[in-house]
Structure 1
Amino acid sequence: MLHLIPASLHRQLYRVAYWLRSKWLRLRGGEVHGCSIIARDDAGRVLLVRHSYGTGRWAFPGGGMRRGEDALAAACREFAEELGCAVTDPVHLATVEEEFHGARNVAHIFTGLIDGEPVPDGREIVDARFFAPDNLPSDTAPNVRRRLALLETKAG
């Protein structure tokens, strides 16, 4: 049903919803649950995305979990919704706690090889590119390097 909304309007609605949610979380605090995937290609590069809302910095794809939703199922759902492809043999790297707009974000981090060509949905995700882990763009979200360290720890 949401695909019936023009993409430009949908992006505006994401920005408004993000702003409202950030204000609500600052007032309420509490805990939110999210997930993200460090998707790699055959060359070892990692996939980063730019959201249509927030800071506009490069980040890993992912999002919020529905109440009672399994973390892996949520990560795979978010990835498919945002990029139209999948990740093969996802592996759970860690569960971390981070501050998110005044609330505690419990983030489940997964990794796997990308299966297909990522195509941004043009609504929530406006750009998606692969980067070598040692050559990330300067405007990368702070948690990207912390999460990449989890991948290096798991590999080592």
Structure 2
Amino acid sequence: MLHLIIRIVPAPVHRAILPLAFRLRHRWRRWRKVPIHGCNVVVTDLDGAVLLLRHSYGPDYWCLPGGGLNSNEDPAEAAMRELREELGIEPARLKSHGTIESEISGSPYTAHLFSAVVDRHPKPDRREVIEARFFPPHSLPEPLGREARRQLAAWRERR
């Protein structure tokens, strides 16, 4: 139901609300320290360029596509859902690269890392994602988020 309500709200209004929601979620996590489970996907095009994106909320840096897991949601299904909802892409398959343990907003964070190859350009939803572009792996943009940097290193190591 919440998902439907969010889609009814016009994109500019949604974008305006997201920074506040991000700050509230950050403070909640710092206070509660509840473990967080998410997924990230290293998406490459047919030439091997890496897809990075910028969100409409939070710090202004480049990161990998992904997001949080819903209750009892399979990590691979969550990864596909995030790619479809935020970028309009659906890879034929995902390859798992295991998990990475870290911390987000003072809470323990488990990221399920996947990779996928796509043959089309993403279409950012203009709500959560305001920009998505492919970059040659030897020339990634700055600023690159700390988590994205760690996840890309793990992906390179585990391929």
Q: 2:55 and 2:32 mapped to 1: Cα distance?
A: 24
Provide the residue aligned with 2:118 in structure 1.
Answer: 114
Aligned counterpart in structure 2 of residue 103 of structure 1, from 86, 101, 107: 107
The residue type equivalent to 2:55 in the other structure is H
Aligned counterpart in structure 1 of residue 11 of structure 2, from 4, 7, 21: 7
SS of residue paired to 1:88: coil
Q: What is the aligned-residue identity percentage?
A: 40
Give runs of aligned pairs for residues 1-150 of structure 1, distance below 5 A: 1=4, 2-150=6-154
Provide the residue aligned with 1:153 in structure 2.
Answer: 157
TM-score normalised over the length of structure 2: 0.93
Shift of 1:105: 0.8
Write 1 or 2 for the structure with the bigger share of strand: 1
Shift of 1:115: 4.5
What do you get for the CA RMSD once the two structures are aligned? 1.1
Q: 2:90 and 2:37 mapped to 1: Cα distance?
A: 21
The answer to which of 62-71 and 7-16 deviates more is: 7-16
The answer for unaligned runs of 5 or more in structure 2 is none
Q: 1:105 and 1:56 mapped to 2: Cα distance?
A: 20
Q: Deviations over 1:45-65 (max 9, x none)?
A: 110010100102000010000
Which stretches of structure 1, 4 residues or longer, exceed 3 Å deviation after superposition?
A: none
Q: How many residues align?
A: 155
